[in-house]
Structure 1
């Protein structure tokens, strides 16, 4: 059980796709101006990466290593198409809001990386945990970024006004440039936290 938790949890923090690995930053810059968009993109990517890991693990013994990358991309493209059709049917507004960035999920580095590094070498359940953990980590990162951006950029959360009419929202927070600056500060804060924790651990071992 401890090993399974380790496989799942590494994507939440230690190998978080956005904050630690700095992968798939495109949607983090483009669609996190509102919480609903960021959360929807996160859930879509979670479904795609988890499903793809399972499919890759199931077929790992039948795929020729020489053509594995095109095969993996075909798997991803198929799953993304299913997600797009489902989202278009359920919520056309969200589908339009995510736009081309939903199509770009096909070439997200984190999805192909997990297929190549983990799913192609492991059984189905560990591959499921790995994909689901990475997807949850991606979703948490997207959600935290979008909450801050929507609050500072619009004074609201999920469309509900939080800050009153007195609040003069800075335009940059709803622009990709604002997301880029915010992500930089968030990554910097995480790095400082990790460095401080490591320093305390060293001091404790020397005491």
Structure 2
């Protein structure tokens, strides 16, 4: 349980592939014009991470060390192909919206990095959980950034939900405010870089506040122990 808890915290916060490792930034910045686009790419990336981590962990003892990287890339490419075909079959319009960035999941450094750094050295259950948490951490950043840009740029949230969830999801769209002209800075690439910078800054600020509070708590314990004469 301790190892699973550590993997959860690492994937979602401390070692988040997007805002800490800064991996996969090309698709992250390119497709997050809306919340749904970010969610679609996040789900696809998570499925590939989960499948590739499990497979790499299963074959880690039979793959020669000299060719492990090419093998890992082939495994990842196979899962990307499966994911791409599923999206082509069931969410075709979203597939068209995401475009080249679905097949380019193969080149996402976060996936090959987890296969090499963790899945190839650990048991299946831990490799699977690591892939799931890293994928969720990446997805959370995608949807937050996509939601921010959609609200600021278009004045809506969950626009295009029907691309992922079907026709009935058209009712999910929320109009935050009405605007006659789009805020282009939020929609265009510069908005993605600014939004990403704000997310990284927010995380660093939270980490700093938590660290300061932890240090203050430790100092209070030490001070109380000195006053009472308690042996720490």
Residues 157 and 176 of structure 2 are in contact (CA less than 8 Å); yes or no, is this contact kept in structure 1?
A: no
How many Å separate the matches in 1 of 2:178 and 2:129? Answer: 45
Partner of 2:193: 180
For normalisation by structure 1, the TM-score amounts to 0.95
How much has 1:161 moved relative to structure 2? 4.4
RCO comparison, higher one (Cα < 8 Å, 6+): 1
| Mean CA deviation greater in 3-12 or 160-169 | 160-169
Partner of 1:74: 74
How much has 1:20 moved relative to structure 2? 1.5
Structure 2 gaps, min length 5: 160-172, 221-232
Partner of 2:158: 158
SS at match of 2:214: helix
How much has 1:196 moved relative to structure 2? 1.9
Partner of 2:122: 122
The number of residue pairs the alignment matches comes to 207
For normalisation by structure 2, the TM-score amounts to 0.85
Residues 155 and 162 of structure 1 are in contact (CA less than 8 Å); yes or no, is this contact kept in structure 2?
A: yes
SS at match of 1:11: helix
CA RMSD of aligned residues (A): 1.3
Residues 155 and 167 of structure 1 are in contact (CA less than 8 Å); yes or no, is this contact kept in structure 2?
A: no
How many Å separate the matches in 1 of 2:215 and 2:127? Answer: 34
Greater Cα radius of gyration, structure 1 or 2: 2
Structure 1 gaps, min length 5: none
Partner of 2:211: 198
Residues 29 and 177 of structure 1 are in contact (CA less than 8 Å); yes or no, is this contact kept in structure 2?
A: no
How much has 1:19 moved relative to structure 2? 1.3
SS at match of 2:178: coil
How much has 1:9 moved relative to structure 2? 3.3
Partner of 1:32: 32
